[in-house]
């Protein structure tokens, strides 16, 4: 196994199309929040929900990335 395979991990297994979809799905919750805010308007209650959702999503994404890094090592 080469050094680049150890560093990039799952990037070596996917080609451009599936890799782009992988990163898009990873951020799907954030994309959905912004789309909802754009179409429904930016209300005060939406702001609170947006902040809570972004905080949870950031923690969830960070946790899943560190778990994936631990599994590859």
pLDDT digits (tens, 9 = 90+) for 31-42: 887 787 777 766
Distance CA 56, CA 47 (A): 14
Identify the three-state secondary structure at position 52: helix
Name the pLDDT band for 61 (thresholds 50, 70, 90): low
Residues in the chain: 73
Query: Are 19 and 11 in contact, with CB atoms under 8 Å apart?
Result: yes
pLDDT digits (tens, 9 = 90+) for 9-57: 655 665 667 777 777 777 887 788 778 777 776 665 666 777 777 777 7
| Stated pTM of the model | 0.32
Identify the sign of the CA torsion 66, 69, 71, 73.
Answer: negative
Distance CA 22, CA 12 (A): 13
């Amino acid at each position: 196994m080469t050094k680049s395979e150890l560093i990039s991990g799952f990037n070596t297994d996917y080609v451009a199309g599936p890799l782009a979809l992988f990163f898009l799905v990873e951020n799907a919750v954030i994309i959905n929040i912004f789309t909802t805010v754009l179409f429904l308007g930016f209300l005060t209650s939406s702001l609170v929900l947006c902040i809570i959702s972004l905080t949870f999503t950031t923690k969830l994404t960070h946790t899943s990335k560190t778990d994936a890094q631990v599994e590859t090592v």
